[in-house]
Structure formats: C-alpha cells, structure tokens
Amino acid sequence: MHRHIRSSSLSSAYYFKNQDDQGNIREFNLVDGGVAANNPALVAISQVTKQILDANRDFFPIKPTDFGRFLVISLGTGSPKVEKHYSAHKAAKWGALGWLIPIADVFAQASADMVDFHIAVVFQALHSEQNYLRIQDDNLSGMTSSLDLATKENLEKLVEIGGNLLKKPTSRVNLETGLFESIENGGTNEEALMKFAILLSKEKNIRESRFV
C-alpha cells in the first residue's frame, strides 16, 4: 500500500501514467502533491504550527506563530535553468493544446518560487533569516533535468551535482528582485547543514531528557 501511495503522490499529474490500487478494499485517487504545494516547506511549517496549537508535548509551549523559533531546511530536487522560452508573440498563436505544457510549467515554477519568497519574507521580517536554509540547484540542463531518466550514468551525474552543491555558498532570495544571491560570509551549504545538525541534535537530547 505504501508503495502505491508513494508512486501515486509523487507522479507528475501530466507526465506519468495514472495508477490505481488494482483491487484493494479501499479506493484512493491520488495525484502529485506538487499540484497543491510544489515546494512543501510551507506545508511543513503549517503542520508544526498545528501541533503547537494542539499542545503536542513534543513541542515547547511557544506561540504557534512564533516562527522566529523555527528551524527550516528546504531541500530542492533541482530544476532546469530558466530560459526565455515564451513570448507574447508566440503565445498569441497558441490554442488550448498549445497552452497545456507552458501553463503547467508556469504553475509549477511559480508555486515553488512564491513559497520560498513568502518564507524568506517572514524570517527576514523576524530577523531570523539564519533559521531558514534553502538549498536548490536551478541550473540543471540536458539529461540531468529529465524527470524519468533513471540510468546509472544520469544518477551518478546527479550525485556529483549534489556533492558540488554542498560546496557552494549559501544563498538567499533577494526580496527586491526575487532572485537568489550568495550570502556574504554565509559559509557553504555543507557548513550550514552541519550547524543545523548540531542544533537539532541538541534539541533531540533536550526532548529525550524530559521523558527520563
């Protein structure tokens, strides 16, 4: 069952063939979660907020909207380099079918970008921008940007890209331009992840000590 859920909810709605559970007692009709939240970071924040609101003992009794106390790591899966594929002149000649793929691309990219922009605004407004780490390679090209090319060569290339991404400087969205920019004296993504890991490890130990 879990395999079917993962397969269904992670499949791009317009790209992969629809799947069903083929005879299970209960029927589930699932679609890619990216239709609603292509970048699930905001969903994660909402869930933590709900747990605090419900007085979950695993969370300290802070205000549900005290986002400055949150630690958020948002790991992107990579995206193709943004190029100027479309223009008003070209779009004027499209029919309904011509709009199908472009509008899906626009929705997916805009959804993810707006989530990151919104979270960045909130954390910067609270002077807690260091608590939000977004790691994403948005310059993929060729086979590395393909959704379904699971060859050994491509997977090894993606691992290499991920390793290189760790060595790159941390970046943050510029609220004026909406573009990502390297953070001056912000260290690398790898160093930032290590800092977060230390903080989370301390948090885990504190939580466990409460139940001893």
160 in a domain, yes or no?
A: yes
Q: What is the pLDDT of residue 180?
A: 85
88 in a domain, yes or no?
A: yes
> 27-36, 62-71, 84-93 — which is least confidently predicted?
27-36
Output helix, strand, coil percentages for the chain, rounded to the nearest 5. 50, 10, 40
Task: Give the pLDDT band (50/70/90) at residue 110.
Answer: confident
Q: What is the pLDDT of residue 155?
A: 93
| Model confidence, pTM | 0.77
165 in a domain, yes or no?
A: yes
Which residues constitute the domain of residue 149? Answer: 71-209
Average pLDDT over residues 187-196: 96
186 in a domain, yes or no?
A: yes
| pLDDT above 60 (res 153) | yes
Q: Which of 147, 111, 116, 136 is nearest to 36 (CA)?
A: 111
* Token pair in block for residue 7: 């397969």
202 in a domain, yes or no?
A: yes
76 in a domain, yes or no?
A: yes
CA geometry: angle 105, 124, 185, nearest 5 deg:
95
Q: What is the domain-level CATH number for residue 128?
A: 3.40.1090.10
Q: Which helix (H) or strand (E) holds 17?
A: none
Task: Give the pLDDT band (50/70/90) at residue 96.
Answer: confident
Domain count, the chain: 1
Average pLDDT over residues 59-83: 85
Task: Give the pLDDT band (50/70/90) at residue 197.
Answer: very high
Average pLDDT over residues 11-20: 56
| pLDDT above 60 (res 163) | yes
| pLDDT above 70 (res 22) | no
18 in a domain, yes or no?
A: no
- Partnered with residue 172 across adjacent β-strands are 181
172 in a domain, yes or no?
A: yes
CA atoms within 13 A on the CB side of 58: 5
Q: What is the pLDDT of residue 39?
A: 81
Between 144 and 27, where is the model more confident? Answer: 144
- The DSSP annotation for 89-105 comes to HHHTT--HHHHHHHHHH
| Percent over 70 (pLDDT), the chain | 81
Q: What is the pLDDT of residue 158?
A: 93
